[in-house]
Amino acid sequence: MSEPGTLFPLSAPAPASLESGVAALRADLLSPGGPRISTMRNYRFALLQYAPDKEYDARRLVRRLVDELRVAEWQVLEVSLQKLLLDRVRAIGDAAVAALVERERALHAKAPERALAYVREKIASHIEGPEGIAADVIRLVDRFAEKDVADPDRALVLVGRAGALYPFFRSSALLKHLDGRTHGLSVVLLYPGTRKDVTALSFMGRLAPDRDYRPRIYP
């Protein structure tokens, strides 16, 4: 059963691993000596990993954490990768988007895998690399750091809705481009995927495991 207007069932508890991951993240962010989500002060990145089918559970738990941080007078910047992706697609122009959709439908009728490859090729060129979505995130972080952040130890950049980038873009590439561009703020990426070992993550549980992750992974 849900409250009116919400997508988050109140009667269904979140997985214990996700609950513990958010709890551990909360404890490390609110550590008396300052955030300790990383052992490197100049690399304050962390990932909160969760199963892709637990997206709504993750959002609900993270919303509670964000509300708690703001009550404690933290500044929190919430970045939606889905919004940034859609903004990039819209920037192509209505005619180009319509042509892309029409071509994708025609290919899908013959071979779905070709249709996906076609869309991936066309979209990836607009979002990959240092001038792609990473640049959009950096601009948001720059503005946040310059206008809103009084104390870097009480500020958080929360990057979510990463599933929208599948299969166009790997989150490890995003973190690589953000490295050194976050003004020393704590950055947490909500990561829908599966964990294969201590450092290997499979984005959306579909892509080959990626071991190119330096940040701490919660839980």
Hunting for tokens 């637990």 — which residue is that? 54
Can you tell me the distance from the alpha carbon of 136 to that of 142, in angstroms, rounded to the nearest whole number? 10
- Indicate if the alpha-carbon torsion angle 206, 207, 208, 213 is positive or negative: negative
pLDDT tens sequence across 127-148 = 888 999 999 999 999 999 999 9
Hunting for tokens 């909360």 — which residue is that? 26
Say how many C-beta atoms besides its own lie within 10 A of residue 169's C-beta: 23
pTM attached to this predicted model: 0.86
72: which 2 tokens?
A: 């404690």
The whole-number pLDDT of residue 26 equals: 97
Can you tell me the distance from the alpha carbon of 99 to that of 104, in angstroms, rounded to the nearest whole number? 8
Burial of 149 (0-12, 13-18, 19+ CB in 10 A): buried
* Spans of the chain below 50 pLDDT: 1-12
136 and 87 in contact (C-beta within 8 Å)? yes
pLDDT tens sequence across 52-85 = 999 999 999 999 999 999 999 999 999 999 999 9
Say how many C-beta atoms besides its own lie within 10 A of residue 181's C-beta: 15
Residue among 128, 83, 119, 126 nearest 99 (CA) = 119
Domains of the chain: 16-88+128-218 (3.40.50)
The whole-number pLDDT of residue 98 equals: 92
The whole-number pLDDT of residue 5 equals: 41
22 and 61 in contact (C-beta within 8 Å)? yes
Q: Omega into 167 within 30° of 0, i.e. cis?
A: yes
